Chains A and B, each alone.
Chain A
């Protein structure tokens, strides 16, 4: 199961809030467009979380190979 998620909150006031989880750096801003397309909404406010300022690191498993 992916650790990257979108949490979309539909408030009874008609307002829609979206939060990204597990998406680090500026990539999370890409999902603003996703929300626009999903709900056909105008974005009125954006708040950046700590994850925005973190960088996504890719963990690569390597084997140590001894070359004689």
Chain B
């Protein structure tokens, strides 16, 4: 049996490698199989049918989908980096990353819609908490971005900031003199 692999992103390669672990392959064999991912075509063992791979994948990995409010690609990348997400890659408008035991896959259904998040993991216990953490950090970045934008445009328009305070709940208050 043969199949064609075309430019697999890192996150997908990670999943396939882990499936091999589930099959009880030795690390040497796994390394050999992963190395074949760099070529256009690789051979699967004859005793491994596609059905087996799907079955094992389904039994070892959990996929959870989340709707998010994230619409800005740059702010999302910044949020992921600040949150310790590593191996951040982009492919075909999708953003992939890994944190803890989660593989993150952000994808928009259309340009004007927010990203949907698919988390792939072996244990989804903290998945909701992780999404909540990312959401909290994302909106803080939205706040920071809005602040920087407003201050810059006030300067451009020679508008004077009379005072600037941060309240206990981290609300930033700008008071601007006009006329």
Pick from B29-37, B84-92, B118-126, B137-145 the stretch touching chain A.
B137-145
Chain B interface residue bracket vs A = 20 to 34
Which of chain B's residues have a CB closer than 8 A to the CB of A6?
Answer: 174-176, 178
A12, B140: Cβ atoms closer than 8 Å: yes
A4, B179: Cβ atoms closer than 8 Å: yes
A47 in the interface (beta carbon within 8 A): no
Taking the nearest CB of chain A, how far is it from the CB of B137, in angstroms?
Answer: 11
Taking the nearest CB of chain B, how far is it from the CB of A35, in angstroms?
Answer: 9
Which of chain A's residues have a CB closer than 8 A to the CB of B149?
Answer: 38-40
B173 in the interface (beta carbon within 8 A): yes
Taking the nearest CB of chain A, how far is it from the CB of B153, in angstroms?
Answer: 5
A12, B167: Cα distance in complex, Å: 10
Docked complex: A1-28 residues within 8 A CB-CB of B: 1-2, 4-14, 16, 23
Chain A interface residue bracket vs B = 20 to 34
A16, B172: Cα distance in complex, Å: 10
B175, A11: Cβ atoms closer than 8 Å: no
A6, B178: Cα distance in complex, Å: 7
A13, B85: Cα distance in complex, Å: 22
A8, B150: Cβ atoms closer than 8 Å: yes
Which of chain A's residues have a CB closer than 8 A to the CB of B13?
Answer: none
Which of chain B's residues have a CB closer than 8 A to the CB of A41?
Answer: 146
The answer, among A2, A5, A7, A12, for a CB contact under 8 Å with B170, is: A12
Name the residue of chain A whose CB is nearest to the CB of B173: A9
Residues 154-179 of B, flagged 1 when their CB comes within 8 A of A and 0 if not, give 10000000100000011111111111
Name the residue of chain B whose CB is nearest to the CB of A40: B149
A13, B39: Cα distance in complex, Å: 47
B179, A16: Cβ atoms closer than 8 Å: no
A7, B161: Cα distance in complex, Å: 10
A8, B142: Cβ atoms closer than 8 Å: no
Interface centre among A7, A14, A39 (most CB of B within 10 A): A14
Q: Known interface pairs A9-B173, A12-B143. Does A4 touch B178 (Cβ–Cβ under 8 Å)?
A: yes
B143, A7: Cβ atoms closer than 8 Å: no
Which of chain B's residues have a CB closer than 8 A to the CB of A8?
Answer: 150, 173-176
Question: What would be 16 A-B contacts, judged by CB atoms less than 8 Å apart?
Answer: A5-B175, A6-B175, A7-B175, A8-B173, A10-B143, A10-B172, A10-B173, A10-B174, A11-B171, A12-B139, A12-B140, A12-B169, A14-B143, A38-B149, A38-B154, A39-B150
